[in-house]
Amino acid sequence: MTFQDAFNEIKGIFSHANVQDYRGHLAIQVTMTGEGGGTFYIEFSDGNVAIEPYDYNDHDVWFISDTNDFLQIARGEMNVVAAYTVGKVRVEGDLGKASEIQRLVGWTRH
């Protein structure tokens, strides 16, 4: 899997997030390692979501994980808190905001 393949899947998942009721701002930079690795960001802001393959220098949270592990988190197959606890994802920044991604992942389900 290439970075573009992984990014497109994640963008597809989060692009369908039902975030109209989300108020506030959350900027997550993600660095995936291993096969398909690369960096992108997900930004939730007052009911909108943006996902782009760029660095987000003023992020609230930075996730660093293996590509396959982050794909599992994005798909809702792995709980981000559990992944952090067992060392499958490294989190830098606001841990409270980091845990919000689990709730937001739940919003992507139709």
What the chain holds in terms of domains, given with CATH numbers, is 3-106 (3.30.1050.10)
Q: Is the pTM of this model over 0.85?
A: yes
- For 44, residues 6+ apart whose C-beta sits below 8 A from its C-beta are 17, 19, 22, 24, 25, 26, 27, 104
CA angle 55, 60, 62 (to 5 degrees): 55
pLDDT value at residue 19: 83
The DSSP output letter for 110 is -
Average pLDDT, the chain: 89
Please tell me which residue, 19 or 38, carries the higher pLDDT value.
38
Asked whether residue 100 carries a pLDDT value surpassing 70, the answer given is yes
Residue with tokens 């794909």: 71
